[in-house]
Structure 1
Amino acid sequence: MTTLKLRTLATVTAVAAASMLFAGCTTTRPGDTGTSSSSRTSIDAQVDASLSKLYQTVPGSREMVSKAAGVLVFPSVVGASLGVGAEYGRGALRTGGRTQAYYSTTAGSIGFQAGAQSKAVIYVFNTQESLAKFRNSKGWTAGADATVAVATIGANGSVDTNTIRQPVVGFVLTNVGLEAGVSVSGAKITEISL
């Protein structure tokens, strides 16, 4: 098998495994029905909390987000793995401080790994062009449809000036703060209806 076929097979396997994992992780019982309004309200509240954490953790991030064309926030991207890993999360795109649409993110990986984790992933669209390309896509993949510069912190403790100049910047926050040296490439992002 070629490397491309193996990679495709691995991605399909990871997404299938994630679907089964996440189907078992629901907080609703079969008879329960959640309303679209409560789902949107819940996601929006989690987005607010994630942005607050970003602003507290990364000096200069509030100004960067306020100047951005848009910000896409996934407050809780949950990953689980046992050899094959998968991640899933839901979030919201905001422009001018207002939610415009809701999205899901999925990603898969292969390699020796075991365990589960949750993190917040935030994409800052610094230009109207990068935001328009994202909004017009029918499924956007970080690293393939646009290069995403993972945020770095400069010597002064604030967001590095080279980072600010990139069209799309990604932040990954864990319970302990900003995660350094992480890649967001390969995350598939799709608009969802709530």
Structure 2
Amino acid sequence: MTHTRRDVFLGLGAVGLLGACANGVGGRGGATIDARVDATLAQLYRDYPATRQLADKSAGLLVMPLVTEAGLGFGGGGGNGALRIGGATVDYYNMVKASGGLQIGVQQYSHVLFFMTDDALQTFRRSGGFAAGAGIAYATPQKGEALAAETTTSLAPVIAVIFGQSGLRVGATLEGVKYTRIIP
């Protein structure tokens, strides 16, 4: 598929607009992100009760309360969240996502990365910027559907639960996600 200059400029514009969105960093950034993380976890546990068992078995959680994506040919997305260990926030992270391919639309969602081993958590924390990809099991439960911790913990050292989707984005994409530690 060939992309015109218009596609490239629209895609880059979408990434720029996403970067300009209110992101909770600056001023009361840490408190804002923590409040959003608390609300996101409450919704996750309410809508998918079995994820509480997953959290109890995990070494830590990276909670991204709101990820916004937009694309027309090329696209991007991002959001901010917090890494929690033992229920306490230890670091804040920014997520940036780039994509290219046949796509159009905008969507928002929440996601939580469950680090199921201490090694996976330490690898994440030591890295200068963690790129999501191989080694992550994705779970996208539907409302009312059970997510069994016993069956998912054996799949991968990191499990991503994606939920609360809204908006419409159509197409097949090749995506890359990078998480970087931030100071709010």
What is the TM-score when the length of structure 1 is the normalising length? Answer: 0.75
Flag structure 2 segments of 5+ consecutive residues without an equivalent: 3-7, 167-172
1:26-72, Cα deviation, whole Å (9 max, x unpaired): 489xxxx941xx11111001111111111122231112102210000
Instruction: Check if 1:113 corresponds to 2:109.
Output: no
Aligned-partner residue type, residue 98 of structure 1: A
Distance 2:112 2:63 in 1: 5
Instruction: Check if 1:81 corresponds to 2:71.
Output: yes
Preserved CA contact (<8 Å) 1:83 1:114: yes
Instruction: Check if 1:151 corresponds to 2:139.
Output: yes
Task: Tell me the SS of whatever aligns to 1:157.
Answer: coil
Residue number in structure 2 paired with 1:71: 61
Q: How many residues align?
A: 168
More relative contact order in 1 or in 2 (CA 8 Å, sep 6+)? 2
Instruction: Check if 1:129 corresponds to 2:125.
Output: no
Flag structure 1 segments of 5+ consecutive residues without an equivalent: 1-5, 7-11, 177-182
Preserved CA contact (<8 Å) 1:105 1:188: yes
Aligned-partner residue type, residue 123 of structure 2: K
Residue number in structure 1 paired with 2:82: 92
Shift of 1:19: 4.1
Residue number in structure 2 paired with 1:174: 164
Aligned-partner residue type, residue 189 of structure 1: Y
Preserved CA contact (<8 Å) 2:100 2:175: no
Residue number in structure 2 paired with 1:9: none
Distance 1:91 1:184 in 2: 23
| Superposition CA RMSD, Å | 3.0
Preserved CA contact (<8 Å) 1:90 1:102: yes
Structure with more strand by fraction: 2
1:143-186, Cα deviation, whole Å (9 max, x unpaired): 15xx1101266xx823263312231000111247xxxxxx9972
Identical-pair percentage: 37
Task: Tell me the SS of whatever aligns to 2:32.
Answer: helix
1:112-134, Cα deviation, whole Å (9 max, x unpaired): 32221111011000110100010
What is the TM-score when the length of structure 2 is the normalising length? Answer: 0.79
Of the three residues 16, 21, 26, the one matched with 2:17 is 21
